[in-house]
Each structure stands twice: as C-alpha cells, then as structure tokens.
Amino acid sequence: MGGREDQTAAVAEKLAVQEAKKDRGATVTTTMPEKEVTLKDLARNMAGFAADREWDQFHSPRNLLLALVGEVGELSEIFQWKGEVPRGLSDWNDAEKEHLGEELSDVLLYLVRLADVCNVDLGESALRKLQKNAIKYPVELCKGNSKKYRELAKKGTVRRNMNNTENMVYHERL
C-alpha cells in the first residue's frame, strides 16, 4: 500500500493522460513569460485561468484554503513511507521528480490565488515576514541551532517594543 512502485505507476498513468489530452488538441491557456516568473505572473495567470472557466464563483477564500490543504496532502503523499530522503533527490527518477514539481506547483498556485482574492500582496508580505523573522532570530543567538525564539530568549533579554508588536530586540546578557 502506497509503495514506490504504486506511486511510479500513478505518475506514469498521469503522464499518459496528459499526452492523450495533448493529442486531442487541448489548449494551454497560461502564458510563459521569457523573464523570471514572478508571483504576480502566477496570480495573473491563475486569475485568467479561473475567469476563462467561470470558476471565479468557486474561488472564495475558504474554498481556496481547503483546496490548498488538499494539495499539501497530495504533496505529502509523495514523501509518505519513503523515510528520510537526501537533499537533491539524487535517487529519484524523472517521473517522480516531475510529479513532485506538479504537486509543489499546485500548492503554490492555490496559495498565490488565495492571497490574490484576499488582496494580499504575497511577495511584499513574504519579504516583510522574512524581516520580522530576522529580528526574531538574530544570527548571534540562533546560529547553528533550531530552537524556537522563545527558547532563544532565555539566552538573552527580550524587550518588546512600546506598541507591543511582535518586533523584539534582543540584548546579550552581560
């Protein structure tokens, strides 16, 4: 149940279905930008994809969130029962890697669409969050260990700023 052979067979079957669709002249509505793909490119393509099919009516935040969670499940299935796998996936075959790319893409596309219908600029928000994380996890306190910031705080003094946001300033204990 759920062995690698089963998954490889499932991938091969999926690819065969895709090839059959191409043979029947199925069209691809997404545009492939020549430059590096941005989150905004993906959001525009997703919006167009949904509009072409009149699926906008189904793309409520809640529905998109549930679809996203479903895709995270599909992504997890790829790793299920495999145990730890090496970075780079050197022992995976092409079909397995392609399947992984597809499920990662499904997760990303639903995430981008969810942010879009919620009027969240995902790129900007992600950069801001990264800056917050850099404050939460100062290099001098967390280099080489994976402790949560609350644990890290025990090593130093944590001072919340005046408006009590998540921003923290760490000072090494004297």
CB of 118 to Mg ion, least distance (A): 21
Q: Which residue is nearest to Mg ion (CB)?
A: 106
In the complex with Mg ion, which residue's Cβ is closer, 42 or 168? 42
In the complex with Mg ion, which residue's Cβ is closer, 71 or 116? 71
Task: Name residue 6's amino acid.
Answer: D
Strand 168-172 to 156-160 pairing: antiparallel
In the complex with Mg ion, which residue's Cβ is closer, 103 or 116? 103
Closest CA to 78 of 61, 63, 66, 95: 95
Judged by CB under 5 A, the number of residues near Mg ion is 4
CB of 106 to Mg ion, least distance (A): 4
CB of 103 to Mg ion, least distance (A): 5
CB 16 within 8 A of CB 98: no
37: Cα within 13 Å, side-chain hemisphere: 12
Closest CA to 15 of 133, 99, 125, 128: 99
Which of 6, 74, 151, 166 lies at the binding interface for Mg ion (CB under 5 A)?
74
Q: Which two tokens stand for residue 92?
A: 């995976």
Is 121 among the residues that bind Mg ion (CB under 5 A)?
no
CB of 70 to Mg ion, least distance (A): 8
In the complex with Mg ion, which residue's Cβ is closer, 41 or 106? 106
Q: How far apart are CA 93 and CA 79, in angstroms?
A: 14
23: Cα within 13 Å, side-chain hemisphere: 6
Please choose, out of 14-22, 37-45, 98-106, 143-151, the segment that lies near Mg ion by the rule CB under 5 A: 98-106
Q: Which residues lie near Mg ion (CB under 5 A)?
A: 71, 74, 103, 106
